[in-house]
């Protein structure tokens, strides 16, 4: 594990916002975009957590990496719903990512890194948790596929 990944993981755990079985975390400024995905993989192992979205910014862009396990939502569609109007997002049911220009989330130039951190956290949390509440991102039972293969829910017997 590189020091960038370790720092990102540390910040992800420290700054977590858990609502139900979903966790988001703003890790602040990053030096390695790949560290977000690695941190998301590790944070998904926290007890009771089924959806993880870790985000941070670099070069005037906010990068997000998401992971899901054991839930009936399409994480790629969830991020598209949450952030597609201000950036780009996509992925699969259990693995997704997004990138959004920082200025798309702020109404004015922020005076400090602390102000930027708060503004980005509020904007991302509002959009992501709002999209998670949106029932249009729920998978139909026959659509549930993961990186481990596909799964068909058994038909209910009458």
3-138 has CATH 3.10.310.30 classification: yes
- Give the pLDDT confidence score for residue 45 in this predicted structure: 94
CA 14, CA 124: separation in Å to the nearest integer? 17
pLDDT per residue as tens digits for the range 72-99: 889 999 999 999 889 999 899 899 999 9
User: Please, what sign has the CA dihedral across residues 106, 92, 58, 61?
Assistant: negative
Share of the chain above pLDDT 90, in %: 56
Token representation of residue 149 = 């293969």
The pLDDT mean for the chain works out to: 83
- Give the pLDDT confidence score for residue 116 in this predicted structure: 79
pLDDT per residue as tens digits for the range 22-44: 999 999 999 999 999 999 999 99
Query: In which band, very low, low, confident or very high, does the pLDDT at 68 lie, cut at 50, 70 and 90?
Result: very high
pLDDT per residue as tens digits for the range 43-64: 999 998 999 999 999 998 999 9
Taking the domains of the chain in order of start, what are their residue ranges?
3-138
CB 28 within 8 A of CB 11: yes
CA 77, CA 157: separation in Å to the nearest integer? 31
- Which of 95, 96, 115, 97 is CA-nearest to residue 105? 115
- Give the pLDDT confidence score for residue 115 in this predicted structure: 79
Q: What is the DSSP letter of 133?
A: H
């Amino acid at each position: 594990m590189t020091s960038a990944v370790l720092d990102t993981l540390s910040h992800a755990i420290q700054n977590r916002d858990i609502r139900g079985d979903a966790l988001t975390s703003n890790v602040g400024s990053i030096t390695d975009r790949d560290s977000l995905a690695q941190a998301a993989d590790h944070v998904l192992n926290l007890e009771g957590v089924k959806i993880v979205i870790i985000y941070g910014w670099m070069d005037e862009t906010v990068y997000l990496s998401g992971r899901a396990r054991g839930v009936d939502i399409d994480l790629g569609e969830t991020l598209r719903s949450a952030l597609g109007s201000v950036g780009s997002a996509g992925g699969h049911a259990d693995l997704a990512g997004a990138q959004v220009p920082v200025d798309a989330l702020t109404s004015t130039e922020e005076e400090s890194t602390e102000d930027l951190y708060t503004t980005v956290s509020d904007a991302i949390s509002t959009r992501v948790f709002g999209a998670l509440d949106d029932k249009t991102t729920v998978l139909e039972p026959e659509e549930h596929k993961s990186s481990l293969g596909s799964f068909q829910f058994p038909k209910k017997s009458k």
